[in-house]
């Protein structure tokens, strides 16, 4: 090393020693930052929730739909599920999230108290959520109806829904259930695939197909014909992360690889294969994009198109509003909000790489991804 | 891996990450923001990060990527070098001259383009081989060497630093 190199090195060493100590905000924020649990890691939380369900009972307001689901709908006289103003349509691609017992849909809200929203998905007919009693509820802003119940195993706290359409799916004990929110009726109740309980999961709904994951493969149910086919994994450690527009997104936690295959038998497979190093990846509705919580890729070109110049930077992709726009969240540490972990919600445009803040300084919220919040049972 | 493991990770690695971030951006508050974001991202996917060979390397990569993206975003408005944070130049004794020389060098390093400065920090402070730097930046090794060469050449053009004319080469062990 010559003198000039040494000069650079000693300068940097000296400056590094002068670096200020860590500000307390780092540890403070981290201890309160809500974690989004991987959908396969729910055994402990589910067990706690199941115990809670045994001792808590809440009333619900029954909608006008029939009780063909056989879910034992109870009634009460409260105003749970009533929107702040009539909601004409649920297909307008509005930002959706829940705070405690309030579901936000754009600038409209639905109060579902006393229920606490643990997991939430939008459908074309309204919202479906799991509450603290593991009850599955539906609301369209005119009332609230219990449409089912989840069991107590891993994956049972995951709701699955397509980006558009009326269907929502979940696991109820030993059965996979799909419910049609437009017609208010169950359209599928079938035993989950054989295998370890920990691997069972209602992985995805794509159009009229429901994907139910077991340890050995994935059962694909055609909801219109009630027929089943089974997909065998080519890589035993793969987990089905998402399905959209006929494309299956597989995640291999061992190799940190995400790959996308087309259900079109003529397609050259895989159509996307990338070491992303994260889980909870998802496809955009038409499968043009592959989004991880941080990164965004063009599926066809495999190019990283993460909006790095956006301000603030998106930190977790939550919900696709249409084929190009998605909702992401970010921690806003500069806000004056008294909340120790304030979130901002952004709407980002994938093709333009831009993001706009649409909701500021939110506290603990439930994302519209169908995955139950771990911290909800800690409160 | 548990939450406790993450707490230990934060306890052990935050200071090192802060030093790296501070060298990259030259500003204490921005360094805190960079490290905070990196740790938040680690926290969100800790079960996964904890299984990889070096969680610290993951966090370091996030710090660097964030720094480079923030630099692009703020380049038109932000004055990176903050004179208030720099010691005043002194003279009279050899020791003081040494400190003053470091100040000049530090100022010059801070004025380098972000990627050039990042390469210098990773090479001379983190002591990483060029191949590892290339991996962190997602660039070919040749690009890393080119960035380093241009950075050093640019430093040499600074009048205050121009007295050292010794030709430079990668430090030993780099390749």
Percent of chain A clearing pLDDT 70 (strictly above) = 70
In this prediction, residue B86 carries a pLDDT of: 33
Give tens-digit pLDDT for B47-69.
667 777 778 888 888 888 777 76
Predicted ipTM of the assembly: 0.74
Q: Which residue has the higher pLDDT, A237 or A320?
A: A320
Q: Are the beta carbons of A35 and B22 separated by less than 8 Å?
A: no
Hey, are the CB atoms on A16 and B14 less than 8 Å from each other?
no
Shortest CA distance to A358 belongs to which of A327, A336, A337, A331? Answer: A327
- What is the rounded CA–CA span in Å between residue A236 and residue A239? 8
Residue A41 sits at the chain B interface (C-beta within 8 Å):
yes
CA distance A98 to chain B (A): 19
In this prediction, residues A307-336 reach a mean pLDDT of: 75
Output the pLDDT for position A22. 56
| Closest chain B residue to A330, measured at CA | B37
Q: Cβ of B166 and A3 within 8 Å?
A: yes
Mean pLDDT of the A172-198 span: 84
Confidence at residue A157, expressed as pLDDT on a 0 to 100 scale:
67
Residue-wise pLDDT tens digits, A38-70: 332 222 222 223 322 322 222 233 343 333 333
Q: Averaged over A151-169, what is the pLDDT?
A: 80
> Which one has a higher pLDDT value, B95 or A109?
A109
pLDDT at A155: 53
pLDDT at A44: 25
- List pLDDT tens digits, range A84-93: 888 989 988 8
Which of the pair, A127 or B2, is modelled with greater confidence? A127
Q: Which residues contact B103 (CB under 8 A, 6 or more apart)?
A: B86, B87, B89
Mean pLDDT of B126-132: 88
Instruction: Answer whether 0.80 is exceeded by the pTM.
Output: no
Question: What is the 3-class SS of chain A, one letter each residue?
Answer: CCHHHHHHHHHHHHHHHCCCCCCHHHHHHHHHCCCCCCCCCCHHHHHHHHHHHCCCCCCCCCCCCCCCCCCCCCCCCCCCCEECCCCCCCCCCCCEEEECCEEEECCEEEECCCCCCCEEEECCCCEEEECCCCEEEEECCECEEEEEECCCCCCCCECEECCCCCEEEEEECCEEEEEECCCCEEEEEEECCCCCHHHCEEEEEECCEEEEECCCEEEEEECCCCEEEEEECCCCCCEEEEEECCEEEEEECCCCEEEEEECCCCCCCCCEEEECCCCCCEECCCCCEEECCCCEEECCCCCECCCCCCCCCCCEEEEECCCCEEEEEEECCCCCCCCCCCEEEEEEECCCCEEEEEEEEECCCECCCCECCHHHHHC
∠ Cα B58 B63 B67 (to 5°): 145
Give the range with max mean pLDDT: A223-232, A245-254, B3-12, B141-150: A223-232
Give the lowest-confidence range in A174-183, A329-338, B117-126: A329-338
Choice between B90 and A225, residue whose per-residue pLDDT is larger? A225
Q: What is the pLDDT of residue B163?
A: 53
Contacts of B37 in chain A (CB under 8 A): 313, 315, 331
Residue B149: the pLDDT is 87
Pick among A3, A9, A10, A16 to test the B interface (most B CBs inside 10 A): A16
Please tell me the distance from the alpha carbon of residue A154 to that of residue A213, in angstroms, as a whole number: 12
Signed CA dihedral, B80, B82, B83, B86: sign only: negative
């Amino acid at each position: 090393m010559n003198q000039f190199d040494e000069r650079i090195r000693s300068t940097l060493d000296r400056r590094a020693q002068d670096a200020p100590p860590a500000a307390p905000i780092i540890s403070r924020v981290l201890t309160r930052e809500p974690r989004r649990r991987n959908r396969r890691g729910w055994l402990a939380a589910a067990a706690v929730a199941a115990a809670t369900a045994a001792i808590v009972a809440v009333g619900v307001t029954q909608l006008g739909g029939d009780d063909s689901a056989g879910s034992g709908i109870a009634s009460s006289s409260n105003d749970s599920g009533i929107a702040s103003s009539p909601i004409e349509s649920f297909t307008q691609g509005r930002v959706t999230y829940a705070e405690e017992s309030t579901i936000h849909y754009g600038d409209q809200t639905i109060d579902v108290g006393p229920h606490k929203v643990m997991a939430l998905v939008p459908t074309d007919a309204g919202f479906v959520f799991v509450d603290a009693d593991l009850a599955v509820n539906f609301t369209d802003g005119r009332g609230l109806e219990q449409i089912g119940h989840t069991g107590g195993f891993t994956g049972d706290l995951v709701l699955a829904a397509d980006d558009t359409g009326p269907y929502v799916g979940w696991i109820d004990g030993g059965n996979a259930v799909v419910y049609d929110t437009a017609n208010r009726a169950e359209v599928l109740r079938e035993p989950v695939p054989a295998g370890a309980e920990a691997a069972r999961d209602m992985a995805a709904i794509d159009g009229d197909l429901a994907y139910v994951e077991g340890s050995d493969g994935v059962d694909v149910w055609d909801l219109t014909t009630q027929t089943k086919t089974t997909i065998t994994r080519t890589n035993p450690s793969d987990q089905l992360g998402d399905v959209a527009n006929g494309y299956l997104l597989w995640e291999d936690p061992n190799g940190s690889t995400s790959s996308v295959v087309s259900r079109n038998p003529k397609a050259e497979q895989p159509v996307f294969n990338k070491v992303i190093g994260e889980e909870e990846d998802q496809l955009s509705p038409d499968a043009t994009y592959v989004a991880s919580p941080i990164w965004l890729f063009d599926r066809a070109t495999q190019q990283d198109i993460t909006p790095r110049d956006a301000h603030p930077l998106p930190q977790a992709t939550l919900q696709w509003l249409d084929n190009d726009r998605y909702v992401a969240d970010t921690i806003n540490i500069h806000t004056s909000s008294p909340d120790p972990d304030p979130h901002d919600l952004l709407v980002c445009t994938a093709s333009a790489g831009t993001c706009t803040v649409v909701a500021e300084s939110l506290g603990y919220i439930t994302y519209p991804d169908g995955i139950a919040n771990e911290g909800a049972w800690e409160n | 891996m548990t939450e406790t493991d993450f707490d230990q990770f934060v306890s052990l690695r935050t200071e090192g990450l802060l030093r790296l971030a501070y060298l990259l951006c030259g500003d204490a508050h921005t360094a805190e923001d960079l490290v905070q974001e990196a740790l938040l991202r680690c926290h969100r996917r800790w079960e996964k990060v904890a299984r990889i060979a070096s969680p610290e390397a993951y966090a370091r990569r996030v710090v660097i990527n964030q720094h480079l993206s923030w630099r692009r975003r703020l380049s038109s408005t932000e004055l990176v070098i903050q004179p208030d944070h720099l010691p005043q130049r002194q003279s009279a004794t050899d020791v003081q001259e040494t400190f003053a020389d470091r100040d000049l060098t530090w100022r010059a390093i801070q004025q380098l383009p972000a990627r050039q400065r990042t390469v210098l920090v990773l090479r001379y402070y983190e002591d990483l081989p060029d191949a590892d730097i290339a991996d962190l930046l997602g660039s070919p090794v040749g690009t890393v060497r080119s960035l380093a060469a241009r950075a050093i050449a640019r430093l040499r053009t600074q009048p205050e630093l121009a007295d050292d004319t010794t030709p430079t080469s990668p430090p030993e062990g780099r390749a």
